[in-house]
Structure 1
Protein backbone atom coordinates (compact mmCIF):
# COMPACT_ATOMS: atom_id res chain seq x y z
CA UNK A 1 0.00 0.00 0.00
CA UNK A 2 2.89 2.38 0.71
CA UNK A 3 4.09 2.06 -2.90
CA UNK A 4 0.63 2.95 -4.23
CA UNK A 5 0.50 5.93 -1.89
CA UNK A 6 3.94 6.98 -3.13
CA UNK A 7 2.85 6.60 -6.75
CA UNK A 8 -0.17 8.84 -6.17
CA UNK A 9 2.06 11.36 -4.38
CA UNK A 10 4.39 11.35 -7.39
CA UNK A 11 1.53 11.88 -9.81
CA UNK A 12 0.34 14.81 -7.72
CA UNK A 13 3.88 16.18 -7.84
CA UNK A 14 3.65 16.13 -11.62
CA UNK A 15 0.34 17.98 -11.29
CA UNK A 16 1.75 20.78 -9.20
CA UNK A 17 4.91 21.12 -11.27
CA UNK A 18 2.85 21.49 -14.45
CA UNK A 19 0.35 23.64 -12.56
CA UNK A 20 3.08 26.18 -11.85
CA UNK A 21 3.13 27.02 -15.54
CA UNK A 22 -0.61 27.69 -15.53
CA UNK A 23 -0.60 29.88 -12.39
CA UNK A 24 1.21 32.63 -14.31
CA UNK A 25 3.33 33.46 -11.29
CA UNK A 26 0.47 32.73 -8.88
CA UNK A 27 -1.63 35.50 -10.44
CA UNK A 28 -4.43 33.22 -11.69
CA UNK A 29 -6.75 32.13 -8.89
CA UNK A 30 -8.05 28.70 -9.90
CA UNK A 31 -4.75 27.31 -11.23
CA UNK A 32 -3.08 28.58 -8.06
CA UNK A 33 -5.64 26.87 -5.81
CA UNK A 34 -5.30 23.59 -7.70
CA UNK A 35 -1.50 23.79 -7.72
CA UNK A 36 -1.20 24.54 -4.01
CA UNK A 37 -3.76 21.83 -3.20
CA UNK A 38 -1.78 19.35 -5.26
CA UNK A 39 1.42 20.38 -3.46
CA UNK A 40 -0.08 19.87 -0.03
CA UNK A 41 -1.70 16.53 -0.86
CA UNK A 42 1.45 15.26 -2.56
CA UNK A 43 3.61 16.02 0.48
CA UNK A 44 1.01 14.55 2.84
CA UNK A 45 0.97 11.30 0.87
CA UNK A 46 4.77 11.23 0.77
CA UNK A 47 4.73 11.58 4.55
CA UNK A 48 2.35 8.64 4.82
CA UNK A 49 4.51 6.52 2.50
CA UNK A 50 7.68 7.10 4.55
CA UNK A 51 6.02 5.49 7.55
CA UNK A 52 6.87 2.12 6.02
CA UNK A 53 9.36 2.88 3.23
CA UNK A 54 12.94 4.07 3.70
CA UNK A 55 13.02 7.87 3.54
CA UNK A 56 15.80 8.10 0.96
CA UNK A 57 14.15 5.59 -1.32
CA UNK A 58 10.70 7.16 -1.03
CA UNK A 59 12.00 10.67 -1.63
CA UNK A 60 14.09 9.62 -4.63
CA UNK A 61 11.18 7.72 -6.19
CA UNK A 62 8.78 10.61 -5.50
CA UNK A 63 11.05 13.17 -7.13
CA UNK A 64 11.85 10.75 -9.95
CA UNK A 65 8.19 10.22 -10.78
CA UNK A 66 7.69 13.97 -10.70
CA UNK A 67 10.72 14.64 -12.87
CA UNK A 68 9.93 12.06 -15.53
CA UNK A 69 6.26 13.02 -15.69
CA UNK A 70 7.04 16.72 -15.86
CA UNK A 71 9.56 16.21 -18.66
CA UNK A 72 7.10 14.11 -20.66
CA UNK A 73 4.24 16.56 -20.17
CA UNK A 74 6.55 19.47 -20.93
CA UNK A 75 7.24 17.86 -24.28
CA UNK A 76 3.57 17.07 -24.95
CA UNK A 77 1.93 20.24 -23.62
CA UNK A 78 4.55 22.92 -24.14
CA UNK A 79 6.53 21.69 -27.13
CA UNK A 80 9.77 21.36 -25.18
CA UNK A 81 12.65 19.84 -27.16
CA UNK A 82 12.94 16.09 -27.64
CA UNK A 83 16.55 15.00 -28.03
CA UNK A 84 18.27 11.66 -27.69
CA UNK A 85 20.36 12.95 -24.78
CA UNK A 86 17.30 14.26 -22.97
CA UNK A 87 15.40 11.00 -23.43
CA UNK A 88 18.48 9.04 -22.39
CA UNK A 89 18.72 11.02 -19.17
CA UNK A 90 15.02 10.41 -18.47
CA UNK A 91 15.68 6.71 -19.09
CA UNK A 92 18.43 6.78 -16.48
CA UNK A 93 16.00 8.29 -13.96
CA UNK A 94 13.46 5.56 -14.72
CA UNK A 95 16.18 2.94 -14.28
CA UNK A 96 17.11 4.47 -10.95
CA UNK A 97 13.51 4.43 -9.77
CA UNK A 98 13.22 0.77 -10.78
CA UNK A 99 16.45 -0.09 -9.00
CA UNK A 100 15.35 1.62 -5.80
CA UNK A 101 12.03 -0.22 -5.93
CA UNK A 102 13.85 -3.55 -6.28
CA UNK A 103 16.09 -3.01 -3.25
CA UNK A 104 13.49 -1.49 -0.92
Structure 2
Protein backbone atom coordinates (compact mmCIF):
# COMPACT_ATOMS: atom_id res chain seq x y z
CA UNK A 1 0.00 0.00 0.00
CA UNK A 2 2.84 2.41 0.78
CA UNK A 3 4.23 1.93 -2.73
CA UNK A 4 0.89 3.17 -4.09
CA UNK A 5 1.01 6.15 -1.73
CA UNK A 6 4.55 6.87 -2.91
CA UNK A 7 3.51 6.75 -6.59
CA UNK A 8 0.64 9.14 -5.89
CA UNK A 9 3.08 11.44 -4.05
CA UNK A 10 5.26 11.40 -7.16
CA UNK A 11 2.30 12.33 -9.34
CA UNK A 12 1.61 15.30 -7.08
CA UNK A 13 5.28 16.25 -7.45
CA UNK A 14 4.75 16.41 -11.20
CA UNK A 15 1.66 18.55 -10.58
CA UNK A 16 3.47 21.09 -8.40
CA UNK A 17 6.39 21.35 -10.82
CA UNK A 18 3.96 21.82 -13.72
CA UNK A 19 2.24 24.64 -11.84
CA UNK A 20 5.55 26.50 -11.80
CA UNK A 21 5.81 26.15 -15.56
CA UNK A 22 2.26 27.38 -16.06
CA UNK A 23 2.80 30.29 -13.66
CA UNK A 24 5.78 31.38 -15.72
CA UNK A 25 3.54 31.61 -18.80
CA UNK A 26 0.52 33.17 -17.05
CA UNK A 27 -0.29 36.85 -16.77
CA UNK A 28 -2.31 38.94 -14.36
CA UNK A 29 -4.05 37.29 -11.46
CA UNK A 30 -3.85 33.84 -13.08
CA UNK A 31 -0.25 33.69 -11.86
CA UNK A 32 -1.50 33.55 -8.26
CA UNK A 33 -3.81 30.63 -9.06
CA UNK A 34 -0.89 28.63 -10.43
CA UNK A 35 1.23 29.48 -7.38
CA UNK A 36 -1.65 28.46 -5.10
CA UNK A 37 -1.83 25.15 -6.99
CA UNK A 38 1.92 24.78 -6.51
CA UNK A 39 1.62 25.20 -2.74
CA UNK A 40 -1.37 22.84 -2.45
CA UNK A 41 0.19 20.10 -4.60
CA UNK A 42 3.52 20.52 -2.81
CA UNK A 43 1.87 20.04 0.58
CA UNK A 44 -0.06 16.97 -0.59
CA UNK A 45 3.05 15.45 -2.16
CA UNK A 46 5.11 15.99 1.00
CA UNK A 47 2.43 14.56 3.28
CA UNK A 48 2.13 11.45 1.12
CA UNK A 49 5.92 11.10 0.98
CA UNK A 50 6.04 11.32 4.79
CA UNK A 51 3.38 8.61 5.04
CA UNK A 52 5.22 6.32 2.63
CA UNK A 53 8.52 6.68 4.49
CA UNK A 54 6.95 5.33 7.67
CA UNK A 55 7.46 1.82 6.30
CA UNK A 56 9.70 2.20 3.23
CA UNK A 57 13.43 2.93 3.49
CA UNK A 58 13.97 6.68 3.16
CA UNK A 59 16.71 6.35 0.53
CA UNK A 60 14.56 4.23 -1.72
CA UNK A 61 11.36 6.21 -1.15
CA UNK A 62 13.00 9.56 -1.81
CA UNK A 63 14.76 8.29 -4.93
CA UNK A 64 11.57 6.79 -6.35
CA UNK A 65 9.58 9.95 -5.50
CA UNK A 66 12.13 12.19 -7.20
CA UNK A 67 12.43 9.86 -10.16
CA UNK A 68 8.68 9.85 -10.72
CA UNK A 69 8.73 13.63 -10.46
CA UNK A 70 11.65 13.97 -12.87
CA UNK A 71 10.27 11.61 -15.49
CA UNK A 72 6.75 12.98 -15.19
CA UNK A 73 7.90 16.58 -15.38
CA UNK A 74 9.98 15.88 -18.49
CA UNK A 75 6.97 14.20 -20.11
CA UNK A 76 4.69 17.12 -19.17
CA UNK A 77 7.32 19.45 -20.59
CA UNK A 78 7.31 17.55 -23.87
CA UNK A 79 3.52 17.22 -24.11
CA UNK A 80 2.30 20.51 -22.62
CA UNK A 81 5.19 22.95 -22.95
CA UNK A 82 6.49 21.59 -26.28
CA UNK A 83 9.99 20.92 -24.96
CA UNK A 84 12.26 19.28 -27.54
CA UNK A 85 12.21 15.50 -27.96
CA UNK A 86 15.65 14.13 -28.67
CA UNK A 87 17.15 10.66 -28.68
CA UNK A 88 19.27 11.44 -25.61
CA UNK A 89 16.36 12.82 -23.58
CA UNK A 90 14.34 9.66 -24.26
CA UNK A 91 17.39 7.47 -23.62
CA UNK A 92 18.07 9.00 -20.21
CA UNK A 93 14.40 9.01 -19.20
CA UNK A 94 14.32 5.31 -20.04
CA UNK A 95 17.42 4.59 -17.96
CA UNK A 96 15.93 6.57 -15.08
CA UNK A 97 12.72 4.53 -15.22
CA UNK A 98 14.81 1.33 -15.29
CA UNK A 99 16.71 2.49 -12.21
CA UNK A 100 13.49 3.30 -10.35
CA UNK A 101 12.05 -0.12 -11.15
CA UNK A 102 15.33 -1.73 -10.10
CA UNK A 103 15.20 -0.01 -6.72
CA UNK A 104 11.68 -1.23 -6.17
CA UNK A 105 12.68 -4.79 -7.05
CA UNK A 106 15.61 -4.89 -4.64
CA UNK A 107 13.79 -3.24 -1.71
CA UNK A 108 12.55 -5.80 0.78
CA UNK A 109 9.29 -4.08 1.81
User: TM above 0.5, one fold?
Assistant: yes
Q: Pairwise CA RMSD of aligned residues?
A: 1.5
Query: For 1:1-104, what aligned pairs fall within 5 Å after superposition?
Result: 1-24=1-24, 28-104=31-107
Using structure 1 for the length normalisation, give the TM-score: 0.95
Using structure 2 for the length normalisation, give the TM-score: 0.90
Aligned equivalents of 1:83, 1:29: Cα separation in 2 = 33
Whose radius of gyration is greater, 1 or 2?
2
Aligned equivalents of 1:7, 1:62: Cα separation in 2 = 7
Task: Structure 2: state its 5+ residue gaps.
Answer: none
How many corresponding residue pairs?
104
How far the C-alpha of 1:22 sits from its partner, in A, is: 1.7
How far the C-alpha of 1:35 sits from its partner, in A, is: 1.0
How far the C-alpha of 1:25 sits from its partner, in A, is: 8.8
Q: Deviations over 1:66-90 (max 9, x none)?
A: 0000001100111111111110000
Aligned equivalents of 1:51, 1:21: Cα separation in 2 = 31
Q: Deviations over 1:32-64 (max 9, x none)?
A: 111110001101100000000000000000000
